[in-house]
């Protein structure tokens, strides 16, 4: 239950607010809704096309928070209710986006429209109605590191100054236009610039969040079970799907890219601090990730294979991984960033936030959920005869 007499980081009492959450039915939205309902007195106007991941928060009349969450089924692309709902709230959080790498170069127009054009009215309504905005961007806005352009044998590649990503200092370096994989990052960067300009010119109170691979239960989908059969989810769900089906984990271009992963529950703590400490969060861009959980994609695959074997009680596959080219896996126009390691100075200084969960523990939690939720359904799907 929500506690009373809660105070912010500066000791001031926290006043209950109404939050318009766009994309509330997704992975991040579902965890944020849970956190807000369980631990705060705030009200939520939950906007999304789907509500499967928050059904447990909406259905039973007996739940103590039934009057603190309202679900509005709408698509922000073309719904006249959007401005009215933003006006009803004190704060708008925009989580809506196409954010699956497989779509960036196969559906570049949808990707650009979803992440830039469709977000424009949200920014406009917040600015015109003097409403605070927390906008979810991506760590992809950084693109490639400076270090990736140095010679392969350069010792400077190991110098953090050439690869650690800082909100207020690192450049945004994308590949050529024909590499349509950057359509997502470019659209996200442009909406960030527009929000920043609204703040500078029109006084919009904003916070921008740059997530670095948030991981946990309810992430993405398992193709053919609770998502499209032909869909390609992000790396962790891709690997989960392969483990559930006892298929080799596909390593794109050898799995040499380096990534950091942060547990969803740690990350949501950071978002709650932003919500409840506007004086410290307004006007800032925050990296939210865990620099200590850094691995190559190949190492991630090996680790997940071990964790899943432990969670499921089944021996690991004899052929755990298989290498595929990025062209074969993602199609023409794919490109990648080499490393994504967040600098944590600003979020630590402003909000005192640090992630707590190790990579092994977050994989254990996530794969336990995936196994409990999907293992039987996947077995049935595999056993089902297909029509010739």
| Enzyme catalytic residues | 184
- Tokens in use for 283? 């006007």
Alpha-carbon torsion, ordered 229, 231, 234, 240, to 10 deg? 10
Distant-in-sequence, close-in-space partners of 195: CB < 8 Å, separation ≥ 6 = 123, 133, 135, 204, 206, 208
Q: How far apart are CA 150 and CA 153, in angstroms?
A: 8
Q: Which of 240, 217, 218, 220 is nearest to 231 (CA)?
A: 220
CB 305 within 8 A of CB 320: yes
- Tokens in use for 220? 């993405």
Distant-in-sequence, close-in-space partners of 274: CB < 8 Å, separation ≥ 6 = 134, 207, 209, 281, 286, 351
Q: Which of 133, 113, 114 is nearest to 123 (CA)?
A: 133
Report the number of secondary-structure helices (H) and strands (E) in the chain. Answer: 14, 15
- Distance (Å) of CA 81 to CA 74, 89, 115, 125, 280: 8, 13, 20, 12, 31
How would you classify the pairing of strands 258-260 and 294-296?
antiparallel
CB 243 within 8 A of CB 275: no
Q: Which of 227, 262, 263, 225 is nearest to 244 (CA)?
A: 225
How would you classify the pairing of strands 258-260 and 284-288?
unpaired
């Amino acid at each position: 239950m929500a506690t009373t007499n809660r105070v912010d980081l500066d000791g001031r009492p926290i006043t209950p607010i109404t939050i318009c959450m766009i994309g509330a039915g997704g992975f991040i939205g579902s965890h944020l809704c849970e956190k807000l309902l369980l631990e705060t007195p705030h009200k939520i106007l939950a906007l999304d096309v789907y509500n499967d991941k928050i059904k447990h928060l909406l259905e039973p009349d007996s739940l103590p928070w039934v009057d603190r969450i309202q679900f509005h089924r709408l698509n922000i692309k073309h719904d006249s209710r959007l401005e009215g709902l933003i006006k009803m709230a004190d704060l708008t959080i925009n989580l809506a986006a196409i954010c699956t790498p497989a779509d960036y170069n196969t559906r570049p127009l949808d990707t650009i429209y979803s992440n830039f054009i469709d977000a424009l009215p949200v920014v406009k309504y917040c600015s015109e109605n003097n409403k605070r905005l927390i906008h979810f961007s991506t760590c992809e806005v950084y693109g490639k590191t400076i270090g990736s352009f140095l010679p392969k044998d350069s010792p400077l590649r190991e110098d953090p100054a050439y690869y650690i990503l800082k909100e207020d200092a690192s450049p945004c370096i994308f590949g050529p236009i024909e590499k349509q994989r950057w359509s997502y990052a470019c659209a996200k960067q442009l909406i960030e610039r527009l929000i920043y300009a609204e703040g500078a010119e029109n006084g919009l109170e904003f916070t921008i969040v740059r997530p670095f691979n948030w991981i946990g239960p309810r992430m993405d989908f398992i193709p053919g079970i609770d998502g499209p059969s032909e869909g390609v989810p992000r790396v962790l769900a891709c690997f989960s799907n392969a483990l559930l089906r006892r298929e080799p984990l596909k390593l794109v271009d050898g799995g040499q890219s380096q990534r950091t992963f942060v547990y969803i529950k740690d990350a949501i703590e950071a978002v709650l601090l932003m919500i409840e400490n506007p004086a410290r969060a307004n006007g800032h861009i925050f990296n939210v990730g865990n620099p200590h959980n850094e691995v190559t994609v190949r190492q991630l695959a090996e680790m997940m294979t071990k964790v899943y074997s432990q969670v499921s009680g089944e021996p690991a596959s004899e052929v755990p991984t298989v290498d595929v080219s990025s062209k074969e896996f993602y199609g023409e126009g794919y490109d990648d960033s080499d490393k994504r390691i967040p600098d944590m100075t600003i979020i630590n200084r402003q909000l005192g936030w640090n992630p707590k969960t190790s990579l092994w523990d977050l994989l254990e939690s996530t794969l336990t959920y995936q196994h409990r939720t999907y293992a039987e359904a996947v077995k049935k799907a595999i056993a089902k005869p297909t029509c010739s």
